[in-house]
Amino acid sequence: MRQTLSPGDRVIGIDFGDRKIGLAISDGMRSVASPVETLVRGKKFADDVPRLQQIFEERDVRAIVLGWPLQMDGMPGPRCQATIAFARNLRTLAGIDLPTLLWDERLTSRMVEKFLIGDMDMTRGKRRKIVDQMAAVVILQSALDAL
């Protein structure tokens, strides 16, 4: 992915779920990931398209790091097919055709929950609002650190 990006290009991190999509964005140097928002999914993908297109355009996104839901043994989990369908829909229905890196997301939500409970002492209601975008931050940051 590094070869396809120019200096200053930003990367978006996505934690895709059944009910929510967590989003995070890199800085132009691609060294720090920051939360963007948690998008509550509509009944069908077409309901999510306008907001996703708006975010990609406003943030001038040039690549995607998409959480890849592997099982603990490293094998693709049952959610992998839905993740592939989401990536395909981004390309075909939303017109977002960017280099996409699938990134191991094992335990990211649990890690975020533990941090928000233990270190931040957040209530369940507050955690629920940000856990997905914070998981996207963890996914994106780990990819940025490895690239």
pLDDT at 126: 64
Say what the pLDDT of residue 95 is: 93
Domain boundaries, given as residue ranges, for the chain: 2-146
Give pLDDT, residue 2: 72
Residue range 2-146, CATH number: 3.30.420.140
Q: How far is CA 100 from CA 24, 97, 110, 111, in A?
A: 14, 9, 24, 24
Q: What is the pLDDT of residue 34?
A: 96
Q: What is the mean pLDDT of each run of 10 residues along the chain (147 residues)?
A: 86 95 96 96 94 96 95 89 95 94 81 61 63 89 92
What residue spans of 1-123 are helical by DSSP H? Answer: 45-58, 80-92, 108-118
Backbone phi and psi for residue 109, each to the nearest 5 degrees, phi listed first? -65, -40
Q: Per the structure block, which two tokens stand in for 52?
A: 């996703």
What pLDDT, on a 0 to 100 scale, did the predictor assign at position 139? 94
